[in-house]
Structure 1
C-alpha cells in the first residue's frame, strides 16, 4: 500500500459507519459503529472525534457497492473535506474492504452482501496479495451460490450463500475502515465516484 502521510479513511457504504486515521501504515485512531441507516447523522461527528478533527493529508472513501444513500453520504463528505483541506481523495470498494477483514484468509475467498431488489453483490478474491479474481456482480442468491465455488464466503449475505450451496464456511465480516492498511495500492486508488454494482432502477424514456 502506498501512503501519503496521514490518511483519513471513510466507510459508509454498508451498515457500518467507520472512520480511521492511518499514518505510515499504522492505525493511529479508529471509530467503528454499526448504525444501519444513520450514516448522515453520525459520520461528521465521528470524524470530528478523531485526533485533530480527522485532519489528514489524503482521504480514502468507500465507493460501494452497498447502500445507495450510504455511498453518497461518504462520497459527499470526502469530497467536501478534500476540497476544504486541499488534499487528494481516492476510493476503494466495500467488497475489498470486507475481504480484508478475514485474517488469516485462505488462498481464495468470496464476499457477498445484500444488493437490493432481492439480489446480492458478490466478488471473488485472492488473499496473498488481496486482489479481485473478477468483476463485482449483482445476482439473485441462487445464481450467486452457483457462481461462488470457494469454501469461505464473507460478508452479511455469506450465510445465505453457504446455505444455498450446501457446503463451505460463512463469516460475517465487516467493512472496517482501519482494515484499509491490508489493501494494496491499486485497490485504494479508485476514482471517488459511486460503484453501484448494478444498473440504476430509473431509466430514461425510450
Structure 2
C-alpha cells in the first residue's frame, strides 16, 4: 500500500510518501521541517515534492493519513483541510491519526510495560494517554501538570520490576515528557517534537477509514475568544 502522510499537529510540518508491505515500511519521498506557524504556505509544496521524489504521481497513492490532534488548532485545520481536499480530488480514503497514538507508536516495536505519551499543552497542562503492554488503557485527556505527575508516579514502580531483566518499565514520549520527568526519574524519555513519519505510515496503512475519520481531536476549548461586539457596533460603556 502506498500512503501519503500529513502531520501539522505539533512542532513539525511533515509530508511523506511510504510503501507499506506487512511489517516493512519504505520511505519513497519525505520532507519534514520544524514549524509552529506557516503550515498553509509550506504544506502543499512539501507534499508535491514528496510525491515527485517518490515517483508515480498522486494517482499512485492508495490512502492518505493525517494527524487530527491533540495539538495546534491552526496546524490541525491546515493539515486536515489539505488532506481532505486532496482525498476528495483523488477519490482516495483519508484516515485520521491521533497525535498521542502516533507518539506512542514512535517508540515501538517492543512496547514497554507502560508508555505514556505527553504533549505540552501550555497553560500548566499536558495532553496525555497511557498504554499498558501496547494497549491503550484510557481515552486521551488534558491533565494539569500535577495530575500528570501523579499518574506517572503511580506507574513508575514498574521500572524496578523490569530492571533486573534489562527491560524498560516506563517510557515517556512527547514534548510534555520533560515537564513530568521529575515524577519518574527511572523512566526512559523521548522528548519528540512530533511523531516518527514511519510510525505515521504504519498507522495509516493499519487504520480503517470508517473507524478513523479525519476529524479534529480537541481536548480543550481554543485559547481565542469570540468578539464581544460585531464590526461597527458601538462599544457598551462600562458602569
Gaps of 5+ in 2: 157-169, 227-239
Q: Secondary structure at the match of 2:220?
A: coil
TM-score w.r.t. structure 1 length?
Answer: 0.84
Counterpart of 2:215 in structure 1 is 193
2:129 paired residue among 123, 139, 143: 123
- Cα distance between partner residues in 2 of 1:169 and 1:176: 17
Going from structure 1 to structure 2, the CA distance change for 1:68 and 1:99 (only over 3 Å counts) comes to same
Cα distance in 2 for partners of 1:185, 1:58 equals 11
The total of aligned residue pairs comes to 198
Question: What are the Cα deviations for residues 73-104 of structure 1, in whole angstroms up to 9, with x where unaligned?
Answer: 11000011011111111111001111122145
Does the 8 Å contact 1:92/1:187 carry over to 2? no
Matched residues in 1 for 2:77 and 2:129: separation?
A: 21
Aligned-residue offset at 1:105: 4.2
Pairwise mapping of residues 50-89 of structure 1 onto structure 2 (< 5 A)?
50-52=50-52, 55=58, 56-89=61-94
- Per-residue deviation at 1:42? 1.6
Q: Distance in 1 between matches of 2:172 and 2:140?
A: 15
Higher relative contact order (CA 8 A, sep 6+): 1
CA distance in 2, matches of 1:7, 1:186: 12
Q: Could you tell me which runs of 5 or more consecutive residues in structure 1 were left unpaired when the two chains were aligned.
A: none
**CA contact under 8 A between 2:9 and 2:68: conserved in structure 1?**
yes
Q: Please give the secondary structure, in 2, of the residue aligned with 1:36.
A: coil
Instruction: Please name the residue that 1:37 is paired with.
Output: 37
Runs of 4+ in 1 over 4 A off after TM superposition: 164-167, 186-189, 199-203
- How far apart, in 1, do the equivalents of 2:112 and 2:96 lie? 26
SS of 1:194 mapped into structure 2: coil
Alpha carbons of structure 1 residues 181 and 24: separation in structure 2 relative to 1, 3 Å: same
Q: Which residue of 2 aligns with 1:139?
A: 143
Distance in 2 (alpha carbons) for counterparts of 1:50 and 1:152: 32
Q: Secondary structure at the match of 2:69?
A: coil
The separation in 2 between residues aligned to 1:45 and 1:35, in whole angstroms, is 15
Alpha-carbon distance between aligned partners in 2 of 1:45 and 1:91, rounded to the nearest angstrom: 21
Deviations 1:121-178 (A, max 9, x none): 0001245xx4322111101111111123243211111011112455533221331333
- Aligned mate of 2:7, from 11, 24, 30: 11
Give the number of the structure whose alpha-carbon radius of gyration is greater.
Answer: 2
